[in-house]
Amino acid sequence: MLDCVVFLADCLVSVSQCIEVIIGGLDYNQNKVNQWTASIVEHSLTQLVKQGRPFKFIVNCAIMQKSGAGLHTANSCYWDTATDGSCTVRWENRTMYCVVSVFAVALTC
């Protein structure tokens, strides 16, 4: 299980790096935001898979424009709490919020 925790910490780091590379320093742009969410998800997933761990991954990315509205989400999972885990990365700049959630479900075989 410790393994899992360490692994998730790594996840966090690599995912936040991904986000920074893709939308760091940019302002919210409606034309491009779809490309951004797609590439964030793709790159994060590639990074995670590259680590070669026996996990199934689910990556979710949400980008919200800062317009004064509120956003509230929640999630929960029913799984093997010993071997499975999730992590969420929250990132923001002056014009938008970005939230990426990664769920890792252990592959048993």
Partner 1 sequence: VDYVRSVDYLMYGLICVVLAPPAAVFRTLQWDTDPSALQLQADSELGRRMHRLGASKIVQIDFVPKELVTYTKETQTPSAAHQSEEEEEDEESSELKASPQTDQPEEEGEAEDSKEAHPRELTEEEREQILHSEDFLVFFERSVSVVERALAEEGDIFFDYSGRDLEDKEGDMQGGSNLSFNRVFHDDHWSKHRVVTCLDWSPQYPELMVASYNSNEDAPHEPDGIALVWNMKFKKTTPEYTFHCQSSVMSVGQIVLWDNRSHRRTPVQRTPLSAAAHTHPVYCVNVVGTQNANNLITVSTDGKMCSWSLDMLSQPQESMELVYNKSKPVAVTGMAFPAGDVNNYVVGSEEGMVYSASRHGSKAGIAEMFEGHQGPVTGISCHNAVGTVDFSHLFITSSFDWTVKLWSIKHNKPLYSFEDNADYVYDVSWSPVHPALFASVDGMGRLDLWNLNNDTEVPTASVTIEGACALNRVRWASGGREVAVGDSEGRVWIYDVGELAVPHPEDWSHFARTLVEIRANRGDGEEEGAVELPA
Per CB under 8 A, the segment of 3-11, 16-24, 25-33, 73-81 that binds partner 1 is 73-81
DSSP category for residue 68: S
Per CB under 8 A, the segment of 7-15, 18-26, 83-91 that binds partner 1 is 83-91
Check residue 17 for interaction with partner 1 (CB under 8 A): no
Check residue 74 for interaction with partner 1 (CB under 8 A): yes
Residue 56 amino acid letter:
K
45: burial class by Cβ within 10 Å (0-12, 13-18, 19+)?
middle
CA distance 30 to 17: 22
The residue ranges that bind partner 1 (CB under 8 A) are 42, 46, 64, 68-82, 84-86, 88, 90, 97, 99, 101, 108
